[in-house]
Amino acid sequence: MEADLVLHSGRVVSHIGEFHGGVAVRDGKIVAIGDRDDLPSAARTIDLEGRVLMPGVIDPHCHLGVNYDYDEDMRTETAGAASGGVTTILLFARNPAGSYIPFYQERRARGESQAYVDFGFHFGIQREEHIAEIPRIAAETGVQSFKCHMGYEVGNSIGIVSSTDAWVYGAMREAVKLPKGVVSVHCENTDLVTMLKKEMMATGRQDLAAYTESRPAFVEEEAIVRVIRLAELTGCPLYIVHTSVGAGPDLAAEARARGVDVTMETCPHYLLRTAYDEDLDARAKISPPLRDRENLEGLWRGVLGGAIDTLGTDHVPFKKTGGDLWSEKPGVVSFAWELPLMLHFGVHERGLSLSRLVELNSYNPARRFGLLPRKGMLAVGADADLVVVDLDLEKEVKATGKGTCLYDGWKLRGWPVLTVSRGRVVAENGVVVESEHGRGRCVTVPESERRD
């Protein structure tokens, strides 16, 4: 048997360990794993020369087509993702106007015509009718992950409708009936945010820290405790998105000890930036906000100690005005830099193991959102979604695309040099392979289309 692609003589890292060897790929799947002598001949053979081979990154949290055209975002942003070692993205999508069935059909078709890498969906609960629609959504689209937003006051700058506790509870009661159902929650106390924002705006402050202090850590901590209790009552798997508070990992760990199925995500910006960094202004506004050094260190303890389960970028390209803090849109971009940032600051500076990084970046997102065993792991029969990393390569972050990057000009050590999506090289040495445009496929599909 001849393979399409063989990568050999590398440091192969999975979520459970590592060994010296490589993989063989045929028809988009991994067909062999082992030493060079165990691998077949191939149409293309790459000597890794000791570099790291890992599963491709699965980014479980992004937003595309919000401020720019969806088709445009699916092309430009997935190209950036591919250059950064990302092979699957999961979009949190909202449809305030109506049903998710036609919405899914349209967004899937348009996405598959543009994407460089695979993608899937979570759907936001933006009206009460969406809760009753959950069984049909799951049956007709394959989407079994639903998001409830908190902390968005009426009239917020991006038009998100916050969920009441009744919506969260109702969504959980429906999602728990699904084989892979999960409810994600943006945790902030909406009433407190509304009150405290008005008070802070009255002071006239326009500095980034004013936004943070208008949404203090306790408003997120309180909401985390509340939604964990609702998950405990319903038995529904809970995914807490973009945790920014250092107490979050401990709250999740305590809940898990009681048997609650809770997964906690954080993002690179909460691990690397604070609201008090002197070079940041209103354009660094994010929801939840950047916090202080104490919260940052608490999140790192969760990453290193196991209480944080996944890393998401919360990548969203927004046109920022650089003007009024309170009307600025909240969000930043980091598809292309999440992996280098974690290699530099996690692996090199804090001693994060590569296997733990794979767990955070690939295996755990795949497990939580029903993509195992097809994605998120190195195994015969799995999709050949791979990234090759040069741990010693030093490069500078150069942000030239859409959205706000918080790391422009930073010099990082450790970069992806090859990205393989379903057996095809989609990026090499940071440059996307243009001919792979439109090859990405939707991974959230009806049961009749599943290929696991």
What 3 state SS string does the chain have? CCEEEEEEEEEEEECCEEEEEEEEEECCEEEEEECHHHCCCEEEEEECCCCEEEECEEEEEECCCCCCCHHHHHHHHHHHHHHCCEEEEEEEECCCCCCHHHHHHHHHHHHHCCCCCEEEEEEECCCHHHHHCHHHHHHHHCCCEEEECCCCCCCCCCCCCCCCHHHHHHHHHHHCCCCCCEEEECCCCHHHHHHHHHHHHCCCCCCHHHHHHCCCHHHHHHHHHHHHHHHHHHCCCEEECCCCCCCHHHHHHHHHHCCCCEEEEECHHHHHCCCCCCCCCHHHCCCCCCCCHHHHHHHHHHHHHCCCCEECCCECCCCCCCCCCCCCCCCECCCCCHHHHHHHHHHHHHCCCHHHHHHHHHHHHHHHCCCCCCCCCCCCCCECCEEEEEEEEEEECCCCCCCCCCCCCCEEEEEEEEEEECCEEEEECCEECHHHCCCCCECCCCHHHCCC
Q: Which pLDDT score, from 0 to 100, does residue 14 have? A: 97
pLDDT level of residue 450 (50, 70, 90 thresholds): confident
> Closest by alpha carbon to 97, among 124, 61, 69?
124
Cβ-contact 347, 298 below 8 angstroms? no
pLDDT per residue over 324-356, tens digit each?
999 999 999 999 999 999 999 999 999 999 999
pLDDT per residue over 36-66, tens digit each?
999 999 999 999 999 999 999 999 999 999 9
**Cα-Cα end-to-end distance for the chain:** 22
Q: Which pLDDT score, from 0 to 100, does residue 452 have? A: 57
Cβ-contact 32, 451 below 8 angstroms? no
Q: Which pLDDT score, from 0 to 100, does residue 157 have? A: 87
pLDDT per residue over 222-274, tens digit each?
999 999 999 999 999 999 999 999 999 999 999 999 999 999 999 999 999 99
The two structure tokens encoding residue 379: 């195994």
Q: How far is the CA of 147 from the CAs of 2, 53, 108, 229, 448, in angstroms?
A: 44, 33, 18, 17, 24
> Closest by alpha carbon to 21, among 39, 5, 7, 34?
34
Spatial distance between the Cα atoms of 56 and 277, rounded to a whole number of angstroms? 32
Spatial distance between the Cα atoms of 371 and 385, rounded to a whole number of angstroms? 12
pLDDT per residue over 389-413, tens digit each?
999 999 999 999 999 999 999 999 9
Q: How far is the CA of 192 from the CAs of 122, 137, 153, 198, 214, in angstroms?
A: 27, 33, 9, 10, 9
The two structure tokens encoding residue 156: 């917020």
**Mean pLDDT, residues 2-14 taken together:** 98
Spatial distance between the Cα atoms of 385 and 365, rounded to a whole number of angstroms? 14
Q: Which pLDDT score, from 0 to 100, does residue 299 have? A: 98
Q: How far is the CA of 122 from the CAs of 62, 66, 95, 239, in angstroms?
A: 10, 15, 11, 11
Domain residue ranges in the chain: 56-368
| Sequence-ordered list of residues with C-beta below 8 angstroms from that of 259, at least 6 positions apart, any chain | none
pLDDT level of residue 451 (50, 70, 90 thresholds): low
Spatial distance between the Cα atoms of 450 and 371, rounded to a whole number of angstroms? 10
What is the rounded average pLDDT for all residues in the chain?
A: 97
Q: Is 368 exposed, middle or buried (0-12, 13-18, 19+ CB in 10 A)?
A: buried
Q: What is the residue whose two structure tokens read 């202080």?
A: 292
Query: Is the whole model's pTM more than 0.85, yes or no?
Result: yes
Measured in whole angstroms, the distance separating CA 26 from the mean position of its chain's CA atoms is 28
Spatial distance between the Cα atoms of 343 and 353, rounded to a whole number of angstroms? 10
Q: Which pLDDT score, from 0 to 100, does residue 39 have? A: 97
pLDDT level of residue 98 (50, 70, 90 thresholds): confident
How many CA atoms within 13 Å lie on the side-chain side of 61? 29
| Sequence-ordered list of residues with C-beta below 8 angstroms from that of 177, at least 6 positions apart, any chain | 135
If one looks up domain 56-368 in CATH, what number appears?
3.20.20.140
